Chain A
Amino acid sequence: MTRLERNERLIKIALFVIACSAVSILAVITIFIFSEGTPIMFKYGLRSFLLGLDWYPSEQSFGLLPMIIGSVMVTFGSLLVGVPFGLACAIFLTEFSSRRLRHILKPIIELLAGIPSVVYGFIGVVILVPFIRETLGGPGLSVLAASIILGIMILPTIISISIDSLQAVPRSYREGSIALGATKWQTTKMVILPAAKSGIIASIILGMGRAIGETMAVIMIAGNAINIPRSVLDPVRTLTSNIALEMGYASGEHRQALFATGVILFIIIMILNTIANATSVKGKAAK
């Protein structure tokens, strides 16, 4: 065996080991969360976890329904804010703006993704929360505040993936449509968007995953009350903030119940990711 061959083999083995370790870390985390979280779910019954309204861990009541509803509300709220803006921005940048403007704006939008979430939370606390309190009433720390901040936080995800999928639409589609006499907007609406649909849906689902998993900013601006909010001005607690808020102090069954919260979150995010993968694969197959 020559030296080169030996080196080749060594590198191959090293890369294999590294690849395995990355996957096994994921496996270990999954096993750990489930082994810590599921026993208590079965001890008190899955129903009491998923449908219970009271979260008083020191009194053995572990109802997660308010948090599940909270997570869902905040996530959909953020999509209501993020999707129209994100999609409009992506359409503008790919179809209507000049190449130069796109080269300036796209990196700036991607920079948004690099801002730490605590900074978003801080801006929310300092500017948005007092604004909501003074103009709309309520405590300010609310579903609305969290939705707006999260909506801004998911913009880079939605915009950059949507741009990629819009740009992937073959040039011949545009040319064909324009040649038939369609305007630019008609082309975008009737040809480009349907063709890029699967990528756009994937971008929305990935944004949703980001929103549902966000913690720090939400803790700072959502108010974290364990009530099911009656309006968008009420405070709300999400699954992630429930874990982060109480982890430091929890022990015994309280700690296990937080892992159970993690299990539920894990399952929700898994489902979202599976849907995202399925839609993007289907999109590719269609082409």
Chain B
Amino acid sequence: MQKSKLVFFLCLLTVIGCARDKAGTGITVAGSTSVQPFADKWAEVYMDEHPDQVVNIQGGGSSAGIQAAKSGACNIGTSSRELKPDEKDLTEIVVARDGLAIIVHTSNRIDNLTIEQVKGIFTGKIRNWREIGGNDKLITVVTREEGSGTRGAFQELVMKKDRVAKSAIVQDSNGTVREIVAGDPNAIGYISLGLVNNKVRALKLNGVPATDENIISKKYKLVRPFLFVTKGEPTPVCREFIDFVQSAEGQKLVSEEGLIPVK
């Protein structure tokens, strides 16, 4: 009895030891929840091709990812917004570009808005769809929480110095914003273009539809970078993963998933 317990304990130790060993050679990528699904894809294919490598993808948000890269808690931080001036000491690598889509319910009559109108809606100046040619209904504004990279990019590209109205509904992921807009005929929100599906409709901005071509030709204005950030130069192991992401194959995965390749 005693002996079998001891054997069991030793086995357990070995398993834990092995698991630790494996994590030791791995890469931890943490940060933006917008980048996460794409990073998962990259990691999956990369680990198929390099069975000895372990890439561990975590969420947490852009600010948290940048912090983690700074503190060394992860090897690569991911961000879905530009770095702020005080974060510029990190090495940044653009791995993809993403359009921000302004989405509404599929039944909404509005098809096109100017950036000024979008700003008006989100600051709370425009409160009724009638004011911009829609039905006589109050607008349900859906935004993201403070610190989110998507919100950061939206703030930078659309709101500039103005604040999002306090009455706006706040959700903590692209997915929940999409769900609310899909369910509420009077809602408007913004999500990553790659995540727009047929339950919601992306609006034209200044007459330009949100498509890959218009983003590449820079006609569609709401574009943000997806960044990998590292503290100092990336280590050789990380370099290899980043090279894979930037390679033709990695970038092809990106465009398959609805993002805009950088090369």
Contacts and interface: CB of A to CB of B under 8 A. Distances in A.
Nearest to B170: A224
Contacts of A66: 166
Contact of B61 (A129, A130, A220, A248): A248
A77 B169 CA distance: 20
Contacts of A133: 183-184
Interface stretch (A157-165, A166-174, A205-213, A249-257): A249-257
Size category of the B interface is 20 to 34
Contact of B147 (A125, A235, A250): A250
B110 interface: no
Contacts of B62: 249
Question: Which residue, of B62, B166, B170, has the highest number of chain A Cβ atoms within 10 A?
Answer: B170
A139 B145 contact: no
B171 to A, nearest CB: 7
Interface string A213-250: 00000011001111100000011010000000110111
A58 interface: yes
B144 to A, nearest CB: 9
Contacts, number: 76
B168 A225 contact: yes
B61 to A, nearest CB: 4
Nearest to A130: B183
Contact of B64 (A58, A125, A130, A251): A251
A143 B64 CA distance: 30
A240 to B, nearest CB: 13
Nearest to A58: B146
B170 A237 contact: yes
A139 B166 contact: no
Interface of A: 54-58, 66, 125, 129-130, 133, 139-141, 219-220, 223-227, 234-235, 237, 245-246, 248-251, 254
23 contacts: A57-B146, A57-B147, A58-B147, A66-B166, A129-B183, A133-B184, A139-B180, A139-B184, A139-B186, A141-B169, A219-B172, A224-B145, A224-B171, A225-B167, A234-B167, A235-B169, A245-B170, A245-B172, A248-B60, A248-B61, A248-B64, A249-B63, A251-B64
Given A57-B146, A248-B172, A249-B148, 5 more contacts: A133-B183, A223-B169, A223-B170, A246-B147, A249-B63
